[in-house]
Amino acid sequence: MPRRGLLTYENALVLILGLTFGFVFFDRQAPSNLMAYIFKDLNLNQTEVGLIGSALSFTWAISALLVGLISDRTGKRKPLLIICVIGFSLCSVVSGFAHDFKALMAARVLMGMLEGGVMPICLAIMSAESSPNRRGLNAGIVQNGFSNLVGNAAGPVILVAIAATAGLGWRDAFFLSGIPGLLCALAIWLWVKEPANPEPQAAPAHPAARAGIMTIILDVLRMMKVRNVLVCSLVSIFMVAWLITGFSFLPLYLVQTHGLTPVAASHIMFALGICAFLGGALVPALSDRVGRRPVLIFGCFLSVIGPMAMLWYTGPTLVLATILFFGWVGNCVFPMFMGTIPGESLPRASVATAMGIVVGVGEILGGVFGPWIAGELADHTSLGHNAPMLMMIACAVIAGIIALFLKETAPAKVGGAPVEAAIAIAA
């Protein structure tokens, strides 16, 4: 494409990869958005609601790490991305055939294995092709902008509208949700080029590192020596727990506790998606100017507003939606600690692995245990349905405290050089 004005390859990548990751979230959030229907049809309890989100988070995490490692080792991004996109699209269709909790769990587990690798590869491609002064902006648009516009704003409205239509239902919503991903895979095959990355990462010379599992362990340990990778991983645990717990329980909480219809609840989820869409680009872009650290800290602490409103606000629904809109800003900092900051803290040949670590740690320890524990507390303690909201508040506060230990990486603040020496990687 001609490199002038808007018609640049960089902008084309933002559009294609952004839409792809948007439909990842469209499919990932489908059970939560349809839960008011699934809950009754499959006779679920709160623990099972949490476990559906937990199961996908677990396999998403494993996939993010393994696919990131394979991508770095081989130097190949595009073929792996196409395979993952086609796979998760087909799994969305399979989810519509589930007739009990176990079948739905199995479909989501398989989907997680295929979806998890999409984000680190998309961000690695975007990092390689981005202008230095747009790295944060591009990552924000790809990861948060489109995922929220397509997955978290349009997703609830479209899926619930299909499920509420006479003659259709939540199963039909699953069947139709797989089509856009297949179209994205076609677009990647036609228009995305393999990035001009450095040579594939060489395997460590030490004999003990030649075994597959040992190689993975040593790579992870080297990455975790880098301060920002460690801090981002810890932030990821609590912010992913905050996010997945919210996604798993918010639509159902709005119906069961606030007395809204599934359609009205989907409109509030639409508002949250719009907030995250706008902030997903603006917040990381702001961090390009004022620094990653202050923006990340502020975003984490501000994330308490949404669940606090869910617990204690009892006024008009429109006002509740407005409060939730501004309280969903925590979703806007995800591209920073999952992509931009690790990518600026390490050599380019290692960034997909580092991003995979941050995503994997967050998904396993936060995404798996967060909604699971929240569901258990809701079913077996006096907290009841309020347990998920209380857990979200605690996670946001802890993440904000951990973010205080981050070392700044924004090129505008550090002169464009990586903040960490490569010694930790080469050791």
Q: How confident is the model over 328-357, as a mean pLDDT?
A: 77
Whether 1 is covered by a domain: the verdict is no
Q: Which of 135-144, 212-221, 395-404 has the lowest mean pLDDT?
A: 212-221
Whether 203 is covered by a domain: the verdict is no
Q: How confident is the model over 397-401, as a mean pLDDT?
A: 95
Whether 2 is covered by a domain: the verdict is no
Greater confidence, 105 or 71? 105
Q: Which of 55-59, 196-200, 393-397 has the lowest mean pLDDT?
A: 196-200
Whether 3 is covered by a domain: the verdict is no
Q: How confident is the model over 281-303, as a mean pLDDT?
A: 86
Ranked by mean pLDDT, the top range of 54-58, 67-71, 164-168, 375-379 is 375-379
Sorted by sequence, the CB contacts under 8 Å of residue 126 that are 6+ apart come out as 13, 14, 17, 138, 139, 142
Q: How confident is the model over 118-133, as a mean pLDDT?
A: 82
Q: Which of 106-110, 120-124, 376-380 has the lowest mean pLDDT?
A: 120-124
Confidence of residue 203 (pLDDT cuts 50, 70, 90): very low
Sorted by sequence, the CB contacts under 8 Å of residue 137 that are 6+ apart come out as 281, 284, 285, 288
Whether 29 is covered by a domain: the verdict is yes
Q: How high is the pLDDT of residue 186?
A: 94
Residue 2, pLDDT above cutoff 50: no
Whether 87 is covered by a domain: the verdict is yes
Residue 18, pLDDT above cutoff 70: yes
Confidence of residue 408 (pLDDT cuts 50, 70, 90): confident
Q: How high is the pLDDT of residue 160?
A: 92
Greater confidence, 112 or 187? 187
Q: How confident is the model over 325-331, as a mean pLDDT?
A: 83
Q: How confident is the model over 161-174, as a mean pLDDT?
A: 88
Q: How high is the pLDDT of residue 174?
A: 92
Greater confidence, 353 or 340? 340
Residue 144, pLDDT above cutoff 80: no
Whether 321 is covered by a domain: the verdict is yes
CA atoms within 13 A on the CB side of 183: 8
Sorted by sequence, the CB contacts under 8 Å of residue 326 that are 6+ apart come out as 275, 305
Q: How high is the pLDDT of residue 202?
A: 47
Domain total of the chain = 1
What average pLDDT does the structure give for the chain?
Answer: 83
Greater confidence, 302 or 217? 302
Q: How high is the pLDDT of residue 272?
A: 86
CB atoms within 10 A of CB 95: 27
**C-alpha dihedral (120, 123, 125, 130), degrees to nearest 10:** -160
Residue 419, pLDDT above cutoff 60: no
Confidence of residue 4 (pLDDT cuts 50, 70, 90): low
Nearest to 26 by CA among 81, 90, 86, 92: 92
User: The domain containing residue 315 runs over which residues?
Assistant: 9-192+208-426
Whether 202 is covered by a domain: the verdict is no
Q: How high is the pLDDT of residue 149?
A: 84
pLDDT digits (tens, 9 = 90+) for 261-273: 999 999 998 988 8
In sequence order, what are the beta bridge partners of 371? none
Ranked by mean pLDDT, the top range of 63-77, 278-292, 384-398 is 384-398
Q: How high is the pLDDT of residue 103?
A: 92
- Coil, strand or helix: which one is 415? coil
Sorted by sequence, the CB contacts under 8 Å of residue 389 that are 6+ apart come out as 249, 253, 307, 308, 310, 311
CA 257, 263, 264, 265 torsion-angle sign: positive
CATH number at residue 95: 1.20.1250.20
Q: Which of 111-120, 368-377, 415-424 has the lowest mean pLDDT?
A: 415-424
Q: How confident is the model over 254-280, as a mean pLDDT?
A: 87
